[in-house]
C-alpha cells in the first residue's frame, strides 16, 4: 500500500475517511483501578448468531459510524464470529446499556482486540475501564506475546488516549476510505451526526 504525500487528498463523494491508529503491548500491564462493586456483568456469547451480534454491534457503534461488520456478507460474518478462536462478550448494565468485547486469537501468539466499546449512557462512568481490565485479563491468560488493537477517528475521540492509559503503545497510522454506510442503507441516516454526509451532486 502506497503512502500518502503531504497535503490535502480528496475523498470521493459518498465516502467517509478515517485516520486509523494501531496500538500494541508485549506484556501484561497492571490493571487500572476500577469500581469495587460494579453494577455490570460480562457474558460470553459462545455461539453468537448474526442478528444477535449485529444488534450489539449497532447498540455500541452506531453513534460512531462503525461499519466494517455491516458490510460483511452473511457467510463471512458467521465464519468470523463463529470461529472457536474468536470470543465475543456482552456487557450488560442497568437501563439496558451494554458493551461489546471481541477478542481474536486466530493468529498464533497474538490476540487482537477486534471490537471494544460501551453504549452512550456508560461513557465516563467506569464501565469501559472495567471492561478493558477484563479484556486484558482474558487476553493474557492465553499464551500470547502480543495484544493489539486499532482505533480510528470515527470512534470516540478519547479512544486513543484510553488505550494508551490501559497499556497500549501506538505503532502505525493509516487512512481508511469506505462507502458511507448511511448512504448504502447499512446505518440509519441520522446516525453519527458529528460526521457530515457528503452526497454526489
- 152 lies in some domain: yes
What pTM, to 2 d.p., does this model score? Answer: 0.94
- 120 lies in some domain: yes
Chain segment 67-100, per-residue pLDDT in tens: 999 999 999 999 999 999 999 999 999 999 999 9
CA distances to 13, 75, 124 from 42, in Å:
40, 27, 18
Average pLDDT of the segment spanning 26-48: 94
| CATH code for position 129 | 3.40.630.30
Least confident of 3-12, 94-103, 123-132: 3-12
- 136 lies in some domain: yes
- Average per-residue pLDDT in the chain? 95
Distance CA(114)–CA(94), nearest Å, equals: 25
Residue 61 lies in domain: 15-30+38-179
- 108 lies in some domain: yes
- 194 lies in some domain: no
- The 10 Å Cβ neighbour count of residue 170 is 14
Chain segment 173-200, per-residue pLDDT in tens: 999 999 999 999 999 999 999 999 999 8
- 98 lies in some domain: yes
Amino acid at each position: 500500500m502506497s503512502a500518502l504525500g503531504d497535503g490535502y487528498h480528496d475523498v470521493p463523494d459518498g465516502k467517509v475517511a478515517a485516520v486509523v491508529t494501531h496500538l500494541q503491548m508485549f506484556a501484561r500491564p497492571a490493571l487500572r483501578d476500577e469500581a469495587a462493586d460494579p453494577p455490570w456483568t460480562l457474558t460470553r456469547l459462545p455461539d453468537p448468531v448474526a442478528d444477535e451480534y449485529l444488534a450489539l454491534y449497532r447498540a455500541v457503534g452506531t453513534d460512531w459510524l462503525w461499519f466494517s461488520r455491516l458490510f460483511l456478507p452473511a457467510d463471512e460474518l458467521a465464519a468470523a464470529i463463529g470461529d472457536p478462536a474468536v470470543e465475543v462478550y456482552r456487557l450488560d448494565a442497568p437501563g439496558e446499556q451494554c458493551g461489546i468485547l471481541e477478542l481474536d486469537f486466530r493468529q498464533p501468539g497474538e490476540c487482537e482486540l477486534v471490537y471494544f466499546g460501551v453504549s452512550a449512557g456508560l461513557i465516563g462512568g467506569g464501565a469501559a475501564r472495567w471492561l478493558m481490565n477484563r479484556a486484558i485479563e482474558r487476553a493474557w491468560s492465553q499464551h500470547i506475546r502480543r495484544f493489539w488493537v486499532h482505533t480510528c477517528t470515527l470512534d470516540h475521540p478519547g479512544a486513543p488516549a484510553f488505550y494508551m492509559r490501559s497499556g497500549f503503545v501506538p505503532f502505525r497510522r493509516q487512512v481508511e476510505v469506505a462507502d458511507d454506510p448511511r448512504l448504502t442503507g447499512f446505518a440509519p441516516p441520522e446516525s453519527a451526526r458529528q460526521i457530515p454526509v457528503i452526497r454526489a451532486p
